[in-house]
Structure 1
Amino acid sequence: MGDNDHSHPFFLHHSDHPNLVLVSKKLNGDNYTTWARGIHISLSVKNKLGFITGDIEEPSSSEDPDTHAAWRCCNDMILSWLLHSLKPELVESVLFSTTAQAVWDDLCERFSQSNIPRIFQLNRELATISQGTSFVSAYFTRLKGLWDELASYNEHCTCSYGAKNDRQ
């Protein structure tokens, strides 16, 4: 991997730094779905999504120390980004995790299932929504927003503990 290989997942741009803000609103527990979607998009743009999904596995430190060092540097940068995207009271619960994937899975397991009341509310809104005096475009925009948010609860979570399957 060359120092300028922008497509390589271990590449860190000169603008990447530990205090980088990936999402505008920090995770507080109630906003998990929108927070996770924002993190997902931000890491995808930076070609770092595999660090939280497990697609980019930790190389052996004994067999390939240089690649391991590059992986560790990127993993730690992503850990820092994730920690800076959490409210302080949540940081303490994941501070000693050693991989970005472990933090991602932990937060997914804890907070994705807490959205069951919101899923119920969305289903209720979808069942009772009507156009009323709204323009068709406004009605469709509201309907599509509800559909998309509901779909995100089934599609988005990539945690490995089964929370997605429990919801479905």
Structure 2
Amino acid sequence: MVDQEVSNPYFLHHSDHPGLMLVSKPLNGDNYATWHRAMTVSLNAKNKLGFIDGTLKAPSPDSNEYPTWSRCNDMVIAWIVNILEGEIGDSVLYYTTARAVWEDLRERFSQSNAPRIFQLQQEIAYLTQEQLSVAAYYTKLKALWDD
């Protein structure tokens, strides 16, 4: 019985609340790819991907399921907005669906940013190990490549 509840996309655990921070680094505009991946993993773990990828459509407002869908949709919106830096969060706050918020962020930030790419290429080219351990150097280099 419990497994059926947890697998229901409308299930909210007692520890789920609107102020929950699902990932550690907020979206600041330059880190969209890593933020997107971290949020996708977190929302999948909570069985809420359907709210952002369009597979879980809103039921009719007359449906008995609508209040539950609306509550979960609002929770996902809150989770997303809480992990956006200031003005970015303010700009998406009035969307009514988590899907609309997600798509707006994708359209704005998934585009290639030529100056940022150039900056990252320079950082990679000039990165030296110096006093870093091999593991620390590799981690720093991999983070730059991932960006």
Cα gap change, 1:26 to 1:125, in 2 (>3 Å):
closer
* Matched residue, 1:75: 73
Equivalent pair of 2:21/2:79 in contact (CA under 8 Å) = yes
Aligned amino acid, residue 47 of structure 2:
N
- AA aligned to 1:37 is R
Structure 1 runs (4+) deviating above 2 angstroms are: 114-126, 140-147
- Give the TM-score normalised by the residue count of structure 2: 0.78
C-alpha RMSD of the superposition? 3.1
Matched to 1:15, the amino acid is S
Q: Return the alpha-carbon distance in structure 2 between the equivalents of residues 84 and 50 of structure 1.
A: 19
Deviation at 1:115, TM superposition (A): 3.6
1:25 match: 25
CA distance in 2, matches of 1:112, 1:72: 27
Unaligned runs of 5+ in 2: 125-134
Correspondence for 1:134? none
**Aligned-residue identity in percent:** 56
Q: Sort the Cα spacing of 1:145 and 1:18 in 2 relative to 1 into closer, same or farther, 3 A.
A: closer
Per the TM alignment, residue 116 of structure 1 is displaced from its structure 2 partner at its CA by 4.4
- CA distance in structure 2 between the aligned counterparts of 1:145 and 1:29, rounded to whole angstroms: 16
Unaligned runs of 5+ in 1: 127-136, 151-168
Please give the alpha-carbon distance, in whole angstroms, between the structure 1 residues aligned to 2:139 and 2:21: 29
Deviation of 1:88 (Å) = 1.2
Can you list the C-alpha shifts for 1:36-87, whole angstroms capped at 9, x where unaligned?
A: 111100000001011111011101112xx32111110100000000110011
- 1:159 aligned partner: none
Cross-structure match for 1:54:
54
* Structure 2 counterparts to residues 77-92 of structure 1, below 5 A: 77-92=75-90
The residue correspondences of 1:1-12 to structure 2 (distance < 5 A) are 5-12=5-12
Q: Deviations over 1:79-125 (max 9, x none)?
A: 00011001111111111100001000001100111444555677899
Question: What corresponds to 1:38 in structure 2?
Answer: 38
User: What TM-score does the superposition give when structure 1 sets the normalisation length?
Assistant: 0.69
